[in-house]
Structure 1
Amino acid sequence: MTHRSIIHVDMDAFYAQIEQRDNPKLVGKPVIIGGTSSRGVVSTASYEARRYGVYSAMPIEAAKKLCPEGIYLPVNMEKYKKVSSEIYNIFKRYTKIYEPISIDEAFLDVTGKDALEIAKAIKSDIKNELKLTASVGISINKFLAKLASEADKPDGLTIIKKDEILSFLRPLPVNKIWGVGPKMNRELNKLGIYYVRDIQNYDIEVLMSLFGKWGKEIYELSHGIDERPVEPNNLSKSIGEEKTFLKDVCDIDVLLKALKSYSINLSNKLKKRGYLARTISIKIKYKDFTIENRSVTLSIPTRDENIIFDTAKYILLNKFNINKEIRLIGLILSNLIYPEDPLQLSMKI
């Protein structure tokens, strides 16, 4: 195992914290960011709101039932992006090797430096200059550093040392392992695996026979093994747009109109950032909140709005059964590359 010094910085309830900073009357109040429409979803909930059971991605309608006294605000993305840029400028003071994960979190490789002193300095700079708090984790790889940052929120600082790895991981629920979502969690539960310690004690050969390569990966992660480097030039994993309709729809023309608008906007974003997209995906959320995703991977990457729209139209008309009313439709472009990157030609439908 390569022993690096990795820091994971995760801002605390980022959008809500910014609004509380900018409006002192909101401090200590349950603030929910995600729009004022009852058909929206929660983007961020302050820690005061989380005590009511409100969490990210929850329908605003459900949040209002749990927290009727909450303060509901629309997303102000321009403001949040500006603050995010200021945070990343702080990171640059301490290392050139940092990997953005989202607008409010990143990994930093500080191998060969004093990770604890750097983590303290970053937290101090963010607090003094931006009047915000971040939770920070330190360990020998990305997986463990992220778990460390989650261990003591908000405003925490946690280190997982090499000789503490197995004991730290042992009592955690198995869904703390990257990639173990609800479906995989159920499959593991059927095997009597509920905690990370259960995987640590499981036969790796059996896991591989059941889950293939993924069986080996979850076994390694359960032992704190993660060889992925921090990638400073990491491209955005995807860009996308989506819209929750004011009323549930099943009109193809309305859906196509939305996809046309997304295609134009996303094409412009690709051109601005200098990317091409290889994978085009449609996300649909139905009236009952079930979600389906379908995608096509092109043999020749594109940023052309007409190709994006034509592919999106093909996916919608051929890969979905539009018999149920639709609450939301989204278009996602992923597998992003620079034009000079080598291509591995293929088409997956």
Structure 2
Amino acid sequence: MIHSWNNVIFHIDMDSFFASVESSKRPELKGLPLVIGSDPKSGSGRGVVSTCSYEARRFGIHSAMPISKAYRLCPDAVFLPVNSKLYKEVSDRIMRILRSYADRFEQVSIDEAYLDMSSKVCDHTTATKFATQIKNKVVETEGITCSVGVAPGKTVAKIASDHDKPNGLTIVQPTEVKQFLAPLPVAKIPGIGKKTEQILKQMQIKDIGELADADIQILMNKFGKHAISMKSIANGIDVRELKDKTEVKSISKEDTFDFDTNDVDKIDSVLMSLCEDVHRTMLRKQFLFRTVTIKVRFKDFTTYTRASTLPFTTNDLETIKKCSRDLMQEFIDKDEFRLIGVGITKLEKIDRKQTLITDFI
């Protein structure tokens, strides 16, 4: 029974969201290997895969893969550009559906969200009922499927939603949490990346059950305070509450060069164009900013970010440009650039009574 749960959390994750949206709008694409990303240019494209259909994944294609490699793996796949406007429109409609079911709601990306269902779910039957209702409503409204994980906490719910994709439903009751987690590889825990996984393997810790039983002092010697949360999650302990993240936290734009370049003028031209794009978006959304960030990726895919925080908030374009140029100086002449990006953070909504400081830089 789920009566003993302090929290009943649903994690809803759309299945291959961008590709699914495209297929729902163009039924002739259903069942085909579909890759969403930049133009592959017959194998010479410079961007990366944003997402792909499950049919494309059978060829070894996955998100963040260079688009040129995706083309080599499956040249007969259908390659489509990212249609951000369409995906956001569909996402907004889906999130309204999900929010209508929840006591509390937390959207974590364009295609996934947590729902606190504690007041509605009292056992396995009601968990199944509501999860099925949600899945059917999304299919009826948008023609795409989602996978649902149900558990007493956010992390286990997220792991559960990934357990039976696509179109899955996995319910983990309180008495089953440790049993469910124990055989899974440690990399299933969100936040444990390849480096942490490798260190754990060197410690003879490969699955979550072994992590749950590991000596906390030994873990802390390796991972510091992070070890406490790792071991807690491995034991199924997660008391974090949902937070309705409706505010915009950052605005950013990036561009991948057609060819790797160390042409200073070209780099600066693209940098300034990105600054202008970010500035237009900021004005449209009526924000001020205090931190400017740049992103640099070299031809070997090494990636760096740098940030500069101002002592004041502003919406001045020239401030964004100057900060970006200053931050970029560290990287000029080091190697050929593959990608650059510009972003702003520490955003505040414009107060019409506020006096802007724009002449200090």
TM-score, normalising length: structure 1: 0.90
Bigger radius of gyration among the two:
2
| Alignment partner of 1:103 is 2:110 | yes
Aligned to 1:20: 23
Q: Give the number of equivalent residue pairs.
A: 339
Aligned to 1:58: 65
2:329 match: secondary structure: helix
Among 202, 220, 234, the alignment partner of 2:214 is 202
Among 29, 44, 50, the alignment partner of 2:32 is 29
Displacement of 1:89:
1.8
2:340 match: secondary structure: strand
CA contact (8 A) 1:96 1:232 kept: no
Displacement of 1:231:
0.8
Q: How does 1:210-229 map to 2 (within 5 A)?
A: 210-229=222-241
Distance 1:188 1:303, change over 3 A: farther
Aligned to 1:112: 119
Displacement of 1:100:
1.5
Among 325, 336, 339, the alignment partner of 1:328 is 339
2:49 match: secondary structure: coil
Percent identity over the alignment is: 40
Displacement of 1:271:
3.7
1: CA distance between counterparts of 2:202 and 2:339? Answer: 33
2: CA distance between counterparts of 1:305 and 1:149? Answer: 42
TM-score, normalising length: structure 2: 0.87
- The superposition leaves residues 266-292 of structure 1 with CA deviations (integer Å, 9 ceiling, x where unpaired) of 233334334444443222221122222
The unaligned stretches of length 5 or more in structure 2 are 122-126, 352-361
Comparing 288-297 and 145-154, the one that deviates more: 288-297
User: What is the root-mean-square deviation of aligned Cα atoms in Å?
Assistant: 2.1
1:43 match: secondary structure: strand
Aligned to 1:190: 202
Among 291, 312, 324, the alignment partner of 2:324 is 312
| Alignment partner of 1:178 is 2:181 | no
The unaligned stretches of length 5 or more in structure 1 are 341-349
Q: How does 1:133-282 map to 2 (within 5 A)?
A: 133-282=145-294
Comparing 272-281 and 262-271, the one that deviates more: 272-281
1:93 match: secondary structure: helix
Displacement of 1:201:
1.4
2:119 match: secondary structure: coil
Displacement of 1:117:
2.8
Amino acid at match of 1:48: E
Comparing 25-34 and 261-270, the one that deviates more: 261-270
Displacement of 1:116:
3.6
Displacement of 1:8:
1.0
2: CA distance between counterparts of 1:279 and 1:158? Answer: 41
Displacement of 1:229:
1.5
Aligned to 1:344: none
Over 6 Å off, 4+ runs = none
Distance 1:336 1:97, change over 3 A: farther
Comparing 43-52 and 114-123, the one that deviates more: 114-123
CA contact (8 A) 2:99 2:115 kept: no
Amino acid at match of 1:17: S
2: CA distance between counterparts of 1:225 and 1:337? Answer: 35
Displacement of 1:95:
2.5
CA contact (8 A) 1:134 1:156 kept: yes
CA contact (8 A) 1:174 1:195 kept: yes
